[in-house]
Structure 1
Amino acid sequence: MAAPAGFPTLQPAMKIRCGLTGFLPCGDIHTGSALFGLPFGEGSLVSVGDFQPKLDFKMRNGQDWFRIDADKKHARATISGMAVDAEGRALRCIAEGIFDLNEHTLPLITGDPNAKSIPFGHATEIMRFECGHEEYKAIENMLFASSLRLIKEESGEIVAEIAISRIISGTGHD
């Protein structure tokens, strides 16, 4: 089904997979939110389907800053990460997201050792990229929407898997 005139559509673009390397509580901040730092380590950022430009990057590092609302119904994330291709060319990933907090998500986000994996459907993000290398420059002029899940591996490691789609502007005069 085509979108009605003027409404944007989504093009599957890429996937990110990376491990979270810690849960660092910063306490309750001036907004009344509880702040957590969630650094992440190495992982992958790869394009899917016919998305252009083709991407095959290794995530090197970054951080998620989670602010858990005082009513504990939602968390707001500010994310910044760095990825590098095989030739050493880096790009910056910037995202803001909103997470539903419930009996599934809250334990995982706060580092509860008894937490379990959570499926897609509890978080959305808006994402953009900065990269001045000619081969990837077009990505700076695109906006993306993403959904993610958090997987608790048998080893106890928490892995974020993010499905990212390019937002395509709506068309038409109606």
Structure 2
Amino acid sequence: MVAPTVNYPTVVPAINQVVDVIAKRVVGVRENGPTLIHFEFGKGTLETVEGFEPAFKAEIFHGADWLSFDSDEKHARIDVKAVAQTEDGAIINFPYHGVVTLDKDVMACFNMDPTSKTIPFGASTNTHYFHSGAEKLKDLENMTFIGNSRMIINQETRGIQVETRISRVIPATGLE
């Protein structure tokens, strides 16, 4: 019996994140096989799209990705931990996890190769979480979020920015 293709969750645009990558540190091969690399974030922004509630605009002031590469070198695993502060002083902790499909262009970015170029959306997908002690942002903790990212290479400075577009998952409500 095949299930009908109705009552699947949908997504609505929610939050945009843009962050500068300012340092790369190779931790090395871990005991269980994957290579671990630490990418440190510089400043960035975390801002809701028009119409999303609870609305906020925040500056990312701390964060990093502990990126691990599968031993077959086909995928990498995102493990981001970051913190932002809203314009009115509320603190938001926002970890996320994801999977990156590796190819020569993505690897050129991760290796900070001088020939690297901007990578379009589609190479990575993520699951996002938001936590805050601010009452006005508490609803974020009870929502499910997914996103995808791209890497933007500044051709003059060779700097890397990661832009992530995050959507809220809206559950289906039907019986079938």
TM-score in terms of structure 2 length: 0.94
Q: Describe the SS at the equivalent of 1:54.
A: coil
Partner of 1:82: 83
Q: Distance in 2 between matches of 1:25 and 1:114?
A: 20
**Aligned pair 1:166/2:176, yes or no?**
no
Give per-residue Cα distances to partners, 1:27-52, cap 9 Å, x unaligned. 11112111100010111111113110
Q: Distance in 2 between matches of 1:20 and 1:70?
A: 24
Q: Describe the SS at the equivalent of 2:137.
A: helix
Give per-residue Cα distances to partners, 1:102-130, cap 9 Å, x unaligned. 01101111322322111101000000111
Q: Distance in 2 between matches of 1:41 and 1:88?
A: 19
Match of 1:155 among 154, 157, 162: 157
**Unmatched 5+ stretches in structure 2:** none
Q: Distance in 2 between matches of 1:112 and 1:65?
A: 19
- For the 8 Å contact 2:90–2:133, the answer to whether it is kept is no
- For the 8 Å contact 1:45–1:83, the answer to whether it is kept is yes
**Unmatched 5+ stretches in structure 1:** none
Q: Distance in 2 between matches of 1:111 and 1:141?
A: 37
**Structure 1 residue 86, shift from structure 2 partner:** 1.6
Q: Distance in 2 between matches of 1:92 and 1:146?
A: 16
Give per-residue Cα distances to partners, 1:60-110, cap 9 Å, x unaligned. 110101101111100001111101012221100010010000011011113
Query: Aligned residue pairs: how many?
Result: 172
Q: Describe the SS at the equivalent of 1:138.
A: helix
TM-score in terms of structure 1 length: 0.95
Q: Distance in 1 between matches of 2:114 and 2:38?
A: 17
Q: Distance in 2 between matches of 1:89 and 1:158?
A: 27
> What is the aligned-residue identity percentage?
31
Q: Describe the SS at the equivalent of 1:165.
A: strand
Q: Distance in 1 between matches of 2:88 and 2:56?
A: 12
Partner of 1:117: 118
- For the 8 Å contact 1:5–1:171, the answer to whether it is kept is no
Q: Distance in 2 between matches of 1:22 and 1:66?
A: 13
